[in-house]
């Protein structure tokens, strides 16, 4: 392969490798920012609970979630450091190889340049051309010198490009090393904070263990609240399903179409709150303090924000019912064919029963309950509860 072509391909490979590494680091940086945002929300909620002097299971859950998020942040930082170190190793090899190729091209160029210099007199070149036996030979000699000159110009351009790229690569290497050192400092700070939070969590568990009867009473009350909500959700979906199945053929077909569209958007649906964090996951989980005891089953998720926010519909549909449930305040049920979404703990309502809504339409505003803003959100397919985390898009 021609040396010039080979060198250009080598430069292209270096540029492509740099771009791919930067893309990976950008994705890791984006994940780091999202985790940090979640930690900020959790931290403010914990501070709010402290101001209310509520050392409760809720506060412990928030703290444990923050610990889990910070551990995830540590993993992310470790991954970034590893990627940076890998990039540094690759970059050092690229710089070495680039330098060697540069030396070869430069040596070849200087050799050709020296020959051109020793024959720099235009008179010598002209004499050589005119010394041809015939016009055809003279033309070929003239063409040779023309190509020779073009080759020198090309080599000059390649060397300038290579020199620029080499300097850029060296600058990037210095930046990678600097970024690595900065991340290591962040890593140490996060580790210190993580150890403090874990210690705080253990102390809180120890304190609560001495209040076992109080915790069991709270658990029973929580179960009653959850049962009341589940009963209301079941009633609403049962009624809606009866109406849907008794509808006209045209309405049934429209319902099937809407259901299919909803299903096709699984994992891509927008969040009902702009900047919320899931603080109450779907399903049943162990009690954070009492061993061998389960928390009440959660048919949906709790999405917490730091301040009041509007609640939005996640998909097009029809507002079927609006009810009030103790503790959960006002709840809106939106039908999307055979799918239903529930939005609870609302303060104000912006829609009425029968309204058609689209994704992003404001349903109402979030209510402040027990010092925090947390939306209780559920998704049902007929009478089957769904895990909303599997339906909402990743952040």
What gap in Å lies between CA 215 and CA 221, rounded to an integer?
A: 10
Higher-scoring residue by pLDDT: 170, 235: 235
Give the model confidence (pLDDT) of 183-222 as tens digits: 889 889 888 988 888 888 888 888 777 777 888 888 888 8
**What does the block give as tokens for 277?**
């964090």
Give the model confidence (pLDDT) of 66-120 as tens digits: 888 889 889 888 888 888 888 888 878 877 777 776 666 666 655 555 555 555 4
pTM: 0.69
Residue 212: strand, helix, or coil? helix
Contacts of 307 (CB under 8 A, 6+ apart): 373
Q: What angle do CA 58, 62, 68 make, to 5 degrees?
A: 145
What gap in Å lies between CA 102 and CA 204, rounded to an integer?
A: 64
Q: Is residue 168 scored above 60 in pLDDT?
A: yes
Q: Is residue 380 scored above 80 in pLDDT?
A: yes
Contact between 139 and 128 (Cβ < 8 Å): no
Contacts of 97 (CB under 8 A, 6+ apart): 10
Residue 300: strand, helix, or coil? coil
Contacts of 281 (CB under 8 A, 6+ apart): 298, 301, 389
Give the model confidence (pLDDT) of 30-60 as tens digits: 777 878 777 787 777 777 655 544 557 778 8
Residue pointed to by tokens 């529930």: 342
What phi and psi values does residue 342 have, to the nearest 5 degrees? -120, 135
Domains of the chain: 3-209 (no CATH), 213-390 (2.70.70.10)
pLDDT band at 329 (very low <50, low <70, confident <90, very high): very high
pLDDT for position 44:
75
Q: How many CB atoms lie within 10 A of CB 197?
A: 20
**Which residue blocks in 119-211 are alpha helix, DSSP H?**
122-130, 135-209
């Amino acid at each position: 392969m021609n040396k010039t072509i080979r060198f250009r391909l080598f430069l292209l490979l270096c540029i492509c490798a740099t771009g791919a590494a930067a893309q990976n680091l950008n994705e890791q940086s984006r994940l780091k920012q999202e985790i940090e945002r979640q930690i900020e929300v959790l931290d403010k909620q914990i501070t709010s609970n402290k101001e209310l002097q509520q050392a409760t299971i809720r506060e412990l859950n928030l703290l444990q979630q923050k610990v889990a998020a910070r551990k995830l942040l540590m993993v992310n930082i470790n991954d970034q450091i590893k990627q940076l170190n890998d990039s540094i190793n690759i970059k050092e090899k690229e710089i070495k190889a680039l330098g060697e190729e540069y030396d070869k091209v430069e040596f070849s160029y200087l050799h050709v340049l020296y020959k051109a210099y020793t024959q720099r007199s235009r008179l010598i070149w002209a004499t050589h051309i005119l010394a041809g036996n015939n016009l055809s030979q003279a033309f070929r000699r003239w063409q040779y010198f023309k190509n020779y000159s073009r080759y020198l110009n090309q080599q000059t351009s390649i060397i300038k490009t290579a020199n620029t790229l080499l300097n850029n690569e060296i600058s990037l290497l210095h930046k990678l090393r600097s970024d690595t050192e900065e991340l290591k400092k962040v890593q140490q700070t996060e580790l210190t904070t993580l150890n403090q939070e874990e210690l705080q969590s253990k102390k809180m568990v120890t304190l609560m263990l001495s209040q076992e009867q109080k915790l069991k009473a709270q658990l029973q009350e929580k179960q009653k609240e959850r049962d009341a909500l589940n009963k209301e959700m079941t009633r609403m979906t049962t009624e809606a399903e009866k109406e849907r199945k008794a509808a006209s053929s045209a309405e049934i077909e429209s319902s099937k179409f809407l259901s299919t569209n909803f299903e096709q958007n699984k994992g891509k649906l927008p969040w009902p709150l702009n900047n919320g964090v899931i603080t109450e996951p779907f399903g049943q989980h162990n009690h954070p303090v009492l061993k061998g005891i389960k928390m009440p089953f959660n048919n949906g998720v709790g999405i917490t924000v730091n301040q009041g926010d509007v609640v939005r519909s996640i998909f097009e549909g029809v507002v079927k019912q609006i009810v009030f449930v103790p503790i959960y305040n006002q709840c809106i049920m939106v039908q999307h064919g055979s799918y239903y979404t529930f939005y609870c703990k609302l303060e104000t309502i912006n829609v009425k029963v029968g309204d058609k809504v689209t994704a992003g339409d404001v349903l109402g505003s979030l209510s402040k309950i027990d010092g925090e803003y947390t939306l209780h959100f559920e998704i049902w397919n007929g009478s089957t509860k769904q895990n909303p985390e599997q339906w909402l898009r990743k952040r």
